[in-house]
Amino acid sequence: MTFDDLLHFSFPFTATTIAGLGLWSLALYLGFSPLSDGTITLLQRWFNFAERSLYTSQEEFERTRPAREAQNTFYASILSVVPFLVVGGLCNWLVEIGLGHSWTVSMGLIATVGCGIYELGRRTGSSGPRDR
């Protein structure tokens, strides 16, 4: 029995499509890291607000606050990747239309390296000048 037999439908994605999508998503996540940090903060606030309504007792809410906030931070960091997956899929699709299917992984890799170098430079520049 195969995976397709269990689901009764198949995904039309090839390995190069999935690799290109992942590389483009990583590039966008690195290139727009202030936006990803803001997304994490926004999701974390929303999770904390939504979870507050589940408690009737203020004492119980305060007692379990550190564990819940840590769990909500974890969930927010995981879910913050979703918008970048969507936009990364769009970039991958545009490269596939423009340059062909064989270029998706190459362009995704170039974008990931470029955005990684940009992020390193941005973080080094934001730390301020250093004395040598």
Q: Which two tokens stand for residue 109?
A: 């890799």
pTM, two decimals, is 0.74
Work out whether the CA dihedral 104, 107, 108, 109 comes out positive or negative: positive
CA distance 109 to 88: 12
Mean pLDDT for all residues in the chain: 83
Residue 86 has a pLDDT of 92
Residue 18 sits at the vertex; the CA angle it makes with 84 and 105, to the nearest 5 degrees, is: 90
Q: Check pLDDT > 70 for residue 7.
A: no
Mind listing the pLDDT tens digit for each residue in 72-84? 889 888 998 999 9
Find all residues with CB under 8 Å of 52, minimum gap 6, and list them. Answer: 61
